[in-house]
Amino acid sequence: MNFDLDHVSVRHRTARPGLPPALQGLSLRIAAGERLAVIGPSGAGKTTLLHLLACAQPPSAGRFGVGGSAPWSLPRRELQRLRGRLFLAPQVPPLPPRQRVVTAVLAARLPALGLWASVRSLFYPHDIPAAFDALDRFDLGEKLFERVDRLSGGERQRVGLARALLAPAQAWFVDEPLSALDPTRSRQAVTTLIAGAQERGATLVASLHQVDVALEHFPRIVGLRNGQLAFDLPAAEVTRERLARLYDRFEHELRGEGAAAPDAPVVQPVVMHCR
């Protein structure tokens, strides 16, 4: 599934008057099956870009296309079907705290299930082996029947990523998937995500604060700053000089300082659209 952005701007409905758009005049083309990392300082527009690509946030200007169609001109039912082919993983996974991990992971399949099958799956998980396999790839197989509220922050984050392996989606958008993970877990999680996307032929776009991980694992790097495109380059061409300009006055983020501690206490999940 390919994505086309032609001078796209995004202004949030709740933004204060006078503030610039979260994204400004952004033009990108993302090919089907491509792996792309989005980097940039806080407030650059990385999360907004992922929400736009996942059809969770409409553009306020410009043209945005998914697979050759304009999603926000589709009838509501068709837009919902399109969203079911897109997987958005927020930084804080919206996992119900009293739910079992097996149920939380299998919820990724809900877009492909009918109403009654969806309701039944909440009480009788329908494919426990598949849930175990997805979790085991993130070293969480033993947490299959654990309650979500008994997991650490890093474990919850990996459960949220395991959902991607089961989702009936052709494109995965993951927002800061490593913020609660230590360096070893971070590299394992990225490797697992990339392998899973390649197996499925899925497009993978990830926003990352860990610039070294982005450069090591993603062939294409998009740099954002103040809602605008700073560069769009192969990883080999992203020099230290370019990074220094991108993170000017945010050098601590480039050095990895000020990030959340691995397995830090979990903040309340944001409300997300059910896909």
| pLDDT over 50 at 270, yes or no | no
Which residue did the predictor score with more confidence, 275 or 141?
141
d(CA 148, CA 159) in angstroms, rounded, equals 9
| pLDDT over 90 at 123, yes or no | no
> Which residues fall within 8 angstroms of residue 28, CB to CB, at 6 or more apart?
3, 4, 5, 222, 229, 232
C-beta of residue 134 within 8 angstroms of C-beta of residue 162: yes
Predicted local confidence at residue 4, as pLDDT: 98
Could you identify the residue written with the tokens 């996942």? 54
Predicted local confidence at residue 196, as pLDDT: 97
End-to-end CA distance of the chain: 17
pLDDT in tens, 171-225: 999 999 998 899 999 999 999 999 999 999 999 999 999 999 999 999 999 999 9
| Phi and psi, residue 18, nearest 5° | 95, -20
**Whole-number average pLDDT of the chain:** 89
Predicted local confidence at residue 41, as pLDDT: 96
Q: What are the distances in angstroms from CA 47 to CA 142, 224, 240, 258, 269? A: 31, 11, 24, 18, 15
Residue 61 pairs in a beta bridge with 9
Predicted local confidence at residue 117, as pLDDT: 55
pLDDT in tens, 50-70: 999 999 999 999 999 999 999
- Extract the tokens encoding 113: 């299930």
pTM greater than the 0.75 cutoff: yes
